[in-house]
Structure 1
Amino acid sequence: MHYICPLCKTENKIDPDFEISEYVCKSCSNIIDVPKNVSTKVVKKPTENVVLEVGQKGTIDGTEYTVTGIVIRKYGSTIFWREYYLKDKKGANAFLSESDGHWVFLHVINAMDVKKKLNGKVAEFHMKNYRWYETTQCTIHAATGFFENKLNFSIANYKEYVNGTQMISQEQSGSETEFFFGKHISKYKVKKAFDISNLPNYTGIGIVQPFYVNVKQAINILGVSALLICLIQLYVVGTRTNALVFEQEVHFADVADKEMISKSFELSGGSAPLHVEASSNVDNSWANVGLGLVNEKNNEIVFASKDIEEYHGYEDGESWSEGSQRESFNFCGVAPGKYHFVISAERQEPLKTSQPARYISPDGNLLISRQENGTIDVTNQTTFETTSFGDAKMIKRDSVTALGQLIHKTFGKSDIDSLLNANAQAETISAVPENKSVKIKAEWLPVSFRNFMFVLLFLVALALALYFGRRAFERSKWFNSSNSPYTYS
């Protein structure tokens, strides 16, 4: 169909064949009355955030539509929204309404199918109730395209009823009243349907905008997930065998500068921590044990190392101690299978020291004392001067100093060590008791409920967050309504 504007002689054409009452010339913006072929009014061209063009085609829900008209409506002095008139190949009408980047797809419905309830605050359509959101007065600000009915530029009343992502829109202009059923449509769906490069960005929350996720579906998924997790945990607990799987005493001499391979042991049931306890007779000393847990099926190895330390003493009149002769650690999440340990261990070597001893010469002039560190102190009892020697041999070598000459004169060829040992009754002792081994014990622990409870609590928290997030979202959606079911402080 094509029409020649009687004023500017511009050809205006549209593909769908339907009865047209008037059209807006795309060149001069005059509204042309088709039967009379005369201009009735000049209107503004739609420009504010208009993204579709008259004649443009797009497919929504499998139906191809052609844009036949565009109308921009105005509320107050600053609020605008766009209405795109669509026509399918069978001549049926549909509408796309866009406001602040939010899109609604509408169809005309029979007024007889809409029932008003509660003094007009509720509209019932197909057994579903829609709550009155707002009544808006508006006028046509701009228009273009082809129209079956003449455009009414007087004030029109839009009364909107909302239920979730669907709405009933009542348009009353003069004595005429029309009802529309609309539902939210994603802007990405509109973009794909009409192959548009850019669309208006979202501002605020649309009156039929859905929550970001389907809360009911998400909670159902979370519930099923929690049930599956519980069943898996029940299976794992029911099939687990908790047992001491390894125990051995390892001598440090056997693993000096090398590693020991333990006997194999079998773990059966669900994955669980492998608890290892290591103990050694440390006393003011330390020991270290290194374990490699080897999975014999795939030769994967996990290493762990632990220090065993215990120290004690007496200081400032008080005794103190720190550390322990027993330490433990876990290999987490060990799967069932056949394993063995690669063991290495080392210790602090025991310190050797001489037992203290004292000897006084027969004439009482010299005092010889051996300290714990092995040094020998010689004291002149007359002058009270003391000289330290590393050992008895150094004393024998000193024949130059006055003290050395006095020692040689007093003791002659006597063995200083023998004199001291006679009083000490022992040559040497260890500074600390000697620990010769480390004991290693491994037990496959009961299945941990910690992670299980953590996951369940996370799922519950996520479900609550979705539930209350949706409530907050709905409150925000109804904030601008004078008929909101919510109270605002």
Structure 2
Amino acid sequence: MDHICPVCRTHNNDLAIDFSIEEFVCSHCNNLITIGQSVKRKIVKKPVENVVLEVGRKGLLYGKEYWIINIVIKKYGSDTFWREYALKDRTGNNVYLSESDGHWVFLRPVDFAFKEFQYYAEADGKKYRWYETTPCNVHAAAGFFEEKLQSGLAYYKEYVNGTEMISREQYGKSLQFFKGNHISRGEIKKAFGITDMPYRSGTGIVQPFLFNVKQCTNIMAITALLICILQLYVVTSRSNQTVFEQGVNFADVTDKEMVSKSFTLSGGSAPLKVHVFSDVDNSWANVGLGLVNEKTNEVIYASKDIEKYSGFEGGESWSEGSTTEDFNLCGIPGGTYHFLISAEKESGTKDLFKSGYRPDNADFSIIKNDAGSFFLKNDKDQTISTYGERGILANDIILRTGLQNNMKETGKLDSILTNMPQEYGYPGNYERNPSVNIKASWLPVSFWNFGIVLACLIIFAVVISWMKRIFESGKWSNSSNSPYSNN
């Protein structure tokens, strides 16, 4: 396709396809030339503002090859411009790309007039809300035109439904109808092989929201339903249970760790809730736990302080802290475990029986308090027996150690018991807080995560709805028929 300008004799052969035209704008002298005439009509301003495509460029849109045959910049008022690119395929079909503020619309001409009402129009069974009626004229142009380029005032009336629109262009008595949809910047870049794009600002007339809110709402509703079903299954198939409970004497874990008995957790990962108690009073205690997975030897450590203080100040009593503390070891998978236990308390601990009387080859120790009572502690089960009379204790020792036939040792025993050092105040005043109690519960049934997930879904839905409203409000901010009252 080659058209020679009668003014400057330039060959205008930018197109690889051939079709009948009525006018063209010379690419060299910018004169508007009517085919068959040897004189110019007028000089047309060359489109340069934010123009990223040129006449003759080929692109692949929606699986079909198109060539840009002309470019027209239209003007509304004194400072509002948008660009329209006319495209043609090899079979002669025309489509259009309209770009305004960096937002693109793909338009197809239709051969029917849609039904128009006061505030909306109908086409193909859909209602489109009236957006705006815009008077405009041609500001700049380039390329080849199948009909005469109209430079007078034209009127565009646009209707919008989501990411689709229909529009009517009226110039004098001539009417044209179009149907269009949003097309992304990425698709334009890919179709025409370009990198630079016009700066984008505001919200396009048919620009889509970040995602489909209706589909997102449906997905979240289905997700919430599945979570409810899963929670119902968990509640009916599992139960919380105590898996470990033991009292630990501070004296037994002074400067060392105690290895607890093993326990088994059955099921998927769940929190292990630990409850610790120590009868502190204006003092503190500390418990350290290491949860050991017996299969992997992986250890999870935790430490918790227990403290309680009280007193009088200004004629009023006060109290703070507690004798109990709770904490969770989260996400513990099923398996066999044991605890490594360490503990300490304020002012330390002392095992009096370690310095008490211990007969040869015996498995027990004995102490005596200032009231004359004796206390025997069994090494095997750590039980303590109380004796009010020395003779009864002596007979018990003889039986436990097998000294019945040894009169010499029996005589020494009575002397030893009589002259034993006294532990003043034992047991009442000497050891008021001897131990800490540890209880661990397996919590496969928890409503916290269930509630948190549902709350997050609800909050997400509310936030998305609010964002969508803000987005749509911005889209309709330039409309005379906005459905949003704040516009």
Q: Distance in 1 between matches of 2:479 and 2:282?
A: 78
> 472, 475, 478: which one pairs with 2:476?
478
Q: Which amino acid is 2:334 matched to?
A: P
Contact 1:33–1:40, Cα closer than 8 Å, also in 2: yes
Comparing 276-285 and 248-257, the one that deviates more: 276-285
Q: Answer yes or no: is 1:116 the counterpart of 2:142.
A: no
What displacement does 1:144 show? Answer: 0.6
Q: Distance in 2 between matches of 1:315 and 1:151?
A: 95
Q: Distance in 2 between matches of 1:159 and 1:316?
A: 81
Match of 2:276 in 1: 278
Q: Distance in 2 between matches of 1:485 and 1:53?
A: 38
SS in 2 for 1:245: strand
Q: Do the aligned partners of residues 139 and 349 (structure 1) sit closer, same or farther apart at CA in structure 2, a change above 3 Å counting?
A: closer
Number of residue equivalences: 413
Match of 2:82 in 1: 81
Comparing 306-315 and 121-130, the one that deviates more: 306-315
Q: Answer yes or no: is 1:164 the counterpart of 2:165.
A: no
Pairwise mapping of residues 408-447 of structure 1 onto structure 2 (< 5 A)?
Answer: 428-429=424-425, 432-445=430-443, 447=445
Match of 2:455 in 1: 457
Over the aligned positions, Cα root-mean-square deviation in angstroms equals 2.5
Contact 2:102–2:200, Cα closer than 8 Å, also in 1: yes
Q: Distance in 2 between matches of 1:198 and 1:316?
A: 77
What displacement does 1:350 show? Answer: 5.8
Q: Distance in 1 between matches of 2:71 and 2:215?
A: 37
SS in 2 for 1:83: strand
Match of 1:107 in 2: 108
Give the unaligned 5+ runs of structure 2. 351-421
Match of 1:180 in 2: 178
What displacement does 1:72 show? Answer: 0.8
Q: Answer yes or no: is 1:249 the counterpart of 2:247.
A: yes
Pairwise mapping of residues 146-295 of structure 1 onto structure 2 (< 5 A)?
Answer: 146-295=144-293
What displacement does 1:450 show? Answer: 1.9
SS in 2 for 1:201: coil
> TM-score, normalization: structure 1?
0.78
Q: Which amino acid is 2:3 matched to?
A: Y
Match of 1:3 in 2: 3
Match of 1:43 in 2: 44
Match of 1:448 in 2: 446
Contact 1:129–1:163, Cα closer than 8 Å, also in 2: yes
What displacement does 1:466 show? Answer: 1.8
Q: Which amino acid is 1:433 matched to?
A: E
Q: Which amino acid is 1:477 matched to?
A: K
Contact 1:57–1:66, Cα closer than 8 Å, also in 2: yes
What's the % identity of the aligned pairs? 59
Q: Which amino acid is 2:105 matched to?
A: V
Contact 2:254–2:349, Cα closer than 8 Å, also in 1: no
Q: Answer yes or no: is 1:330 the counterpart of 2:328.
A: yes
Match of 1:365 in 2: none
Comparing 302-311 and 164-173, the one that deviates more: 302-311
What displacement does 1:315 show? Answer: 7.6
> TM-score, normalization: structure 2?
0.78
What displacement does 1:251 show? Answer: 2.7
Q: Distance in 2 between matches of 1:316 and 1:222?
A: 57
Q: Which amino acid is 2:109 matched to?
A: V
Q: Distance in 2 between matches of 1:327 and 1:45?
A: 80
> 298, 301, 304: which one pairs with 1:300?
298
Q: Do the aligned partners of residues 349 and 64 (structure 1) sit closer, same or farther apart at CA in structure 2, a change above 3 Å counting?
A: same
Q: Do the aligned partners of residues 215 and 255 (structure 1) sit closer, same or farther apart at CA in structure 2, a change above 3 Å counting?
A: same
SS in 2 for 1:465: helix
What displacement does 1:299 show? Answer: 2.5
Larger Rg: 1
Q: Distance in 1 between matches of 2:179 and 2:316?
A: 88
What displacement does 1:270 show? Answer: 4.2
Residues 160-198 of structure 1 show CA distances to partners (whole Å, capped at 9, x for unaligned) of: 111111111111112211111111111222122112221
What displacement does 1:76 show? Answer: 1.5
Match of 1:56 in 2: 57
What displacement does 1:254 show? Answer: 2.9
Q: Do the aligned partners of residues 484 and 336 (structure 1) sit closer, same or farther apart at CA in structure 2, a change above 3 Å counting?
A: same
Match of 1:139 in 2: 137
Match of 1:420 in 2: none
